[in-house]
Structure 1
Amino acid sequence: MKLTAKQLYSKLVDEYKIIGEQGSISFSLKDLAISIKTKDTVGNLLQEWLKAWFRMSNIDFEENTNSQTFPDFQLDKDNPKKGLLEIKSFDFDSGPGFDLANFDSYCNSLLESAFRIDSDYLILAYQMEDGIISIKNVWLKKIWELSCPSGTYPVKVQEKKGVIYNLRPSTWYSERAKFKPFSSKEEFLTALNETRYQYPQTHHSNAHWLKSVIKNYQEHTGILLEVK
C-alpha cells in the first residue's frame, strides 16, 4: 500500500492511536532476562518498531541500508525524489536534542538534490519511567518547520570551538520558545544562505550557493522559488 507521509501519519496517529500507548524494552541472554530502564537505545528501537509497523500495515517502503545517510525510509519506490522520510525521537522531559542534518552535508546536497528540502520528518516524543515508555506526542514536519533562528546565527546550529557541525531543532511545540520555527522553505533557505555567509569556513565559497539551489530545485520540481 503506497502512502504519502501525511497519510502514514494519519494512519499511525488517528487510526492506530499510538499517542498515549506504552511499551517496554527487555533483553535476555541464556536464562537471564532484564528490563532496560536507560534511554540510550530508545530512539533506535522506536525506529525498528516503526519499520515492523510499516510491514504489519502493508505500507510500501524501502529502508536505507546505511543508517548514517539520508533518508531513513523511502515511501515512494517509483520516484526517488518523493516520499523521503526521516525518523526522529526524543525524551519529552528533556526536549528535542536530535540533529536535523549535518550542516555542510545538507548544504552541499541541496546543490544537486534540492528536492530534499521537501522531505518529511516523523518525530516521536516519549517519556520513560521505571522502564515504561509512553508515547507523549507525534508530529509530521518539514525541516523549516523544525528549524529556527538563534542568537548566534540566522539558523540554529550546533557549534563547537568555532566549527559548525549540525542543524539543530527548535522547540516547535512550545509557546514559550524564544525562537520560533521558520514559516516557509524560502525563509529557511534565506537563513541558511545568511549563515553560510556569516560562517568563516563557507563565507568565501557562498557567492552562488543560493542561486544554484534555486536553479536545481526548479530543474527537479518545475517550481521557481522566490527567495529574497
Structure 2
Amino acid sequence: MQLSAQDIYEKLVVHNRIIGEKGIISFILNGHDIKILSKDSVGNLLQEWLRDWLISEGVTFGKSPGTQDFPDFQLDLTDPKKGMLEVKSFDYDNSPNFDVAAFLAYRRSLLLHPYRLDSDYLIIGYSMVGHYIEIKDVWLKKVWEITGPSQDWPLKCQVKQGEIFNIRPTKWYLRTGKKDRGPKLPVFNSALQFVQAFDATQRQWTATARDSITSTWLNKVLAGYKAATGNDLV
C-alpha cells in the first residue's frame, strides 16, 4: 500500500492518536534489562519505531542506502522525485535543535537534486522523564516552514567560531499545555525565499563567499528545479 506523507501523518495523529502516547526505552543483554535514561538515542529509536510501524501497517517504501542518506523514507516507488520523507525529533521541553541538513552537503545536494526542496519533514516532539517517553506533538512540514533567519545570518545555522556546520530549525510553533519558553519565531514563506536566504548565507560566510560554486549556485538550483519538475520554484 502506497501512502503519501500526509496520509501517514493523518494515520499517526488522527487515527492512531499518537500524541499523548507513552513508551519505555530499555536494553536487554544476556538476560540483564536496563532502562535507558539518556536522550541520545531517542531520535534513532523513534525513526526505527516508525519504520516498523509502517511495515506493520502494510505501507510500502524504499530504503535509503545508509542511515545518514537522504531521504529517510522514499514513499513514491515509481518517481524518486516525489514522496521524499525525512523524520526528525526533538525534546519538546526545549527549543528544537536537530540538524535539518549539513550546510555544505545540502548545497551540493540541491545542485544535483533540486527537487529535494519538495521533501516533507515528519517532526516528533517528545518529553522524557526517567526512562518514560511521551509524544507531545507531531508536525508535517516543508523545509521552509521550519527554518528562518537568525540574528546574525539570513538562514539560521549551527555556527562555531565563524564556521557554519548545519542548518538548524527555528521555533515554528507554540507549546501547548504549559507556559511556553520564548515566542514563535518567523519562518520563510516559500521554498524560493528559503533558497534565497541560503544563497545570502553562503555569500556572507567567508569560506564560501568567493568560491566558484556560490557565484552561480542560485541560478543553477532554480534552473535545475524547473528542469526536474516542470515548475518554477515559488
TM-score for the superposition, normalised by structure 2: 0.93
Question: Which structure 2 residues correspond to residues 39-50 of structure 1 after superposition, within 5 A?
Answer: 39-50=39-50
CA contact (8 A) 1:147 1:181 kept: yes
Please identify, of 33-42 and 81-90, the stretch whose mean Cα deviation from structure 2 is larger.
33-42
- Indicate the residue corresponding to 1:28 in structure 2: 28
The count of residues paired between Structure 1 and Structure 2 equals 226
Structure 1: distance between partners of 2:232 and 2:91: 38
Q: Match of 1:128, as an amino acid?
A: M
Structure 1: distance between partners of 2:146 and 2:226: 23
Shift of 1:65: 2.9
Shift of 1:179: 3.7
CA contact (8 A) 2:157 2:165 kept: yes
- Indicate the residue corresponding to 2:205 in structure 1: 199
Q: Does 1:180 align with 2:186?
A: yes
Structure 2: 5+ residue stretches without partners? 176-181
- Indicate the residue corresponding to 1:9 in structure 2: 9
Partner deviation per Cα, 1:37-58 (whole Å, 9 max, x = no partner)? 2212111111110001000111
Structure 1: 5+ residue stretches without partners? none
- Indicate the residue corresponding to 1:210 in structure 2: 218
Structure 2: distance between partners of 1:208 and 1:8: 37
- Indicate the residue corresponding to 1:224 in structure 2: 232
Partner deviation per Cα, 1:111-158 (whole Å, 9 max, x = no partner)? 121000110110111111121110000001111001110111100011
Q: Which runs of 4+ in 1 moved over 2 A?
A: 174-179
Shift of 1:225: 2.6
- Indicate the residue corresponding to 1:89 in structure 2: 89
CA contact (8 A) 1:150 1:179 kept: no
| Secondary structure of 1:115's aligned partner | helix
TM-score for the superposition, normalised by structure 1: 0.95
Partner deviation per Cα, 1:78-121 (whole Å, 9 max, x = no partner)? 11111111111111112211100010111111112100011011
